[in-house]
Amino acid sequence: MEKFSITTAIDYVNGEPHIGHAYEKIFTDVIFRHFKKRSEKSFFLTGTDEHGIKIQKTAKTLNITPKELCDKNANSFIEAWKLLDINYSHFIRTTDDYHEKTVQDIFEKLLEKGDIYKHKYTGLYCSGCECFLAEKDLDEEGNCPIHGKKPEVVSEENYFFKLTKYKDKIINHIKNNPNFIQPSYRAQEVLNQLENIEDISVSRAKTNVEWGIEVKSDPSQVIYVWIDALSNYITGLGYKVNSESEENYKEFWPVNYHIIGKDILKFHSIYWIAILMALDLELPKSIYAHGWIMIDKNKMSKSTGNVISPKSVMEAFNLEKPDALRYFMVTAAVNGKDGNYSDDDFKEKVNADLANNMGNLLNRTLNMLVKYFDGEIKAEFINNELINETKETIDSVLKYFDEMEPALAANKIIELVDSANKFVNDKAPWALAKNGDMVECGKTLYSILNLMAKVAILIEPYCPNIASDMAKQLKIDVNMKYSEIEDLMVKEGKLITKEEIHPVFLRLDSEIMGDKKKQN
């Protein structure tokens, strides 16, 4: 693969980052790290959405400016993603000067083209969704189905985008490109929404919303979220309307994937696509809509008080590195469905897979190598006894990532470790050593270590710190490309000393972890 690019939705900075935000960023980061090992060049864009009435109102209640609120909360997201080792290429804020200028130019271009027009409108406005809703969109009690509140009746003169003009073109694109909307079962949902689509408001009167990007040719209006926030996917790459776009835009647009939550699929697969069509720009190759993360099988909600942050999980379990949380979150859901977080499930999953299974296998194998061979790999030990199982796993991992199923790919990696555990128990190298069959004992240990070297490369997108630690003990390069992995062999010679061996992941309820927690 020559190049790979991916984006997340940008997070609204009216509050602190929670585990739902973290799920999307971790999911995307794992996809990005995987494909980085398969491509020559790669790019990962994320950021924050910083305009709108909610920011304006919250800032007023706190007696600070909207920009001060945005600066504070945007930094919270930046710090959270640093904590979780999110390896993004660029972080865009919609208050960045370059973004605001290009958004103004985009608006003027669509205005000149006749795709934007001014119109007096009375409608039902949900401040949570930041959009107008039709009565058919409301629940039986007349509330927004997502936010559970009645929308307010708003009357003002705004600019509207001719969404209906692009309706048939969008329908044809979805039908002619089966991988455009993923998972595929969501495509029909979008097609159903397109049936009764109407033109959309793309500005708000400044008398109602002050905090936004001004319309250049009409300063009485501010540009609304659909052109402002959605345009980040191209402005963040350096797209320019009236001059030559930057190299990142030329290189990485159209992106391979927009990763978004299922609740904003309509805005990305209809509104954003129509805007791109109106600008005569290429469309993203695919839009992937993931599900939500539930907390103890309940939807996260401020009103129920079950909103948790990734930082609080790491602190509760005394985690210095985010690998366990990253691994759990990505494996919590498959095929775009909802996932669930609970403390008990988290502890059980990571203890079983990362500590008892993967970590323990590497640790005891290295200790046997030191005990029986002083940590040395001898020439007569080198063999490929588990090569078939390893090759099958590598092929499966690549296939599952192509299908956007990192959870299933992780399962295959752990299944390979299961096979290795069975292999070492069946071979019983301790018994071979006791009986004096040292060559067979050495071959058995080498087979396991060679397999674990490949596991380290495969698990790295999920657990970069654990993988790096494994690679260090096995003397391999954790950043190697997947094209090199089948030929990877642990080298002959002195591999490790007893002092260099340590567990790559401690059980969350282990005595050592307990002692570390007491010290804090």
The residue annotated as part of the active site, out of 70, 99, 126, 131, is 126
Q: 505-514 long-range CB contacts below 8 Å, 24 or more apart? A: 505/323, 505/324, 505/350, 505/354, 505/355, 505/358, 505/359, 505/463, 505/466, 506/355, 506/359, 507/351, 507/355, 507/356, 508/317, 508/324, 508/347, 508/350, 508/351, 508/355, 509/347, 509/351, 510/355, 513/318
Closest CA to 144 of 157, 125, 158, 161: 125
- Catalytic residue check, 302: yes
User: How many residues are listed for the chain in this entry?
Assistant: 520
Query: Where are the extended beta strands (E) located within 233-353?
Result: 257-261, 287-290, 293-295, 339-341
Distance (Å, whole) CA 395 – CA 174:
29
The residue annotated as part of the active site, out of 34, 70, 129, 311, is 129
CA angle, residues 397, 402, 407, in degrees to nearest 5? 55
- Catalytic residue check, 517: no
- Catalytic residue check, 129: yes
The residue annotated as part of the active site, out of 60, 147, 169, 422, is 147
Structure token pair of residue 414:
């752990």
- Catalytic residue check, 99: no
Q: What are phi and psi of 116, to 5 degrees?
A: -125, 135
Distance (Å, whole) CA 180 – CA 163:
19
Distance (Å, whole) CA 144 – CA 64:
29
Q: Which residues pair with 293 in a beta bridge?
A: 339
Closest CA to 110 of 202, 198, 197, 196: 202
The residue annotated as part of the active site, out of 144, 412, 427, 454, is 144
Distance (Å, whole) CA 240 – CA 104:
11
- Catalytic residue check, 147: yes
- Catalytic residue check, 441: no
Distances (CA, A) of 236 to 17, 46, 94, 147, 243: 21, 9, 9, 29, 16
* Phi-psi domain of 96 (left: phi exceeds 0; alpha: psi -120 through 50; beta: other): beta
Closest CA to 7 of 269, 259, 350, 208: 259
Distance (Å, whole) CA 461 – CA 38:
12
- Catalytic residue check, 131: no
CB 375 within 8 A of CB 496: yes
The residue annotated as part of the active site, out of 120, 136, 297, 302, is 302
**What's the gap between Cα 113 and its chain centre?**
36
The residue annotated as part of the active site, out of 3, 113, 119, 299, is 299
The residue annotated as part of the active site, out of 18, 37, 321, 427, is 18
CB 167 within 8 A of CB 197: yes
Other beta carbons within 10 angstroms of residue 129's beta carbon come to 18
Distances (CA, A) of 195 to 34, 129, 164, 190, 204: 38, 21, 10, 9, 26
- Catalytic residue check, 90: no
Catalytic site residues? Answer: 18, 21, 126, 129, 144, 147, 299, 302
